Amino acid sequence: MSRTSRSAPVVALAAVLAGFVLTGCSDTKTGAAAVVNGDRVEISTLNSLVEQAADARQSVGAEPVPGVEASQEELTSVLTDKVLDEAARRAGIVVTATEIADAKRDWAGTNPGATIETLLARQGVPASQVDHFVRRSVLIDKIIIANGQDPRTEAGQQKVVEVFRSTAESMDITVNPRYGQWNPADGLVPTTYGWLTPNRIA
């Protein structure tokens, strides 16, 4: 893996998420935080992810993410996964358990004295989701390589942004206006509700 952060497993995804954040309003069915190609992301599921992220941060003494921002962060992550998975499906790309194990071993070899679990917990990734996080990183690298670029280069980073945007534009994604609005050109741009907490979004 080339980078470890909550919303950007690699530099390329940092660029993707910089342009894909929550905005204004969309129609979703009651009880759904978002709907992606007909599949619902339930508010209850999102709230569970928020709680897990908060527990992970607390376990290592990291600062909590305040208010509704935590829900928006987790929803952005969920939507990012769905778009990346669709891009990979179209390209026939899969990530194996062996590749995940190899990536974790490579990370450990270049970060002596640290554990990926502790580092990711500071970013709100619970231990149960570490392999999922690593899979996302490997998947991004493979998408870049499949498009003839090197994941370590700026061109490679730009390529995954292009693939992400084009895939997102072709998908049917709507977001509950409590969290923001999905626009294929901009992604998920947050609605600001500073007084709300995740438990009050239901």
- pTM of structure: 0.80
Residue 108's pLDDT is: 87
CA 197 – CA 96 distance, rounded (Å): 37
Give the list of residues 6+ apart from residue 96 with CB closer than 8 angstroms, or none. Answer: none
The answer, yes or no, to whether residue 115 has pLDDT greater than 60, is yes
Identify whether the C-beta of residue 202 lies closer than 8 Å to the C-beta of residue 43: yes
Tell me the average pLDDT across 127-147. Answer: 94
* Angle of CA points 46, 14, 90, to nearest 5°: 75
Alpha-carbon span 29 to 12, nearest angstrom: 32
What are the pLDDT digits (tens) for 31-88?
899 999 999 999 999 999 999 999 999 999 999 998 788 998 899 899 989 999 999 9
- What kind and span of H or E run contains 15? helix 11-19
The rounded distance, in Å, linking the Cα atoms of 43 and 47 is 6
Please tell me the predicted confidence (pLDDT) of residue 171: 92
The pair of structure tokens assigned to 86 is 């669709």
Does residue 159 have a pLDDT over 60?
A: yes
Environment class of residue 146 by beta-carbon count within 10 Å: exposed (0-12), middle (13-18) or buried (19+)?
middle
Higher-pLDDT residue of 181, 1:
181
Q: Write down the pLDDT at residue 143.
A: 94
**Which domains does the chain show, CATH number per domain?**
11-196 (1.10.4030)
Q: What are the phi and psi torsion angles at 175 (to 5°)?
A: -130, 140
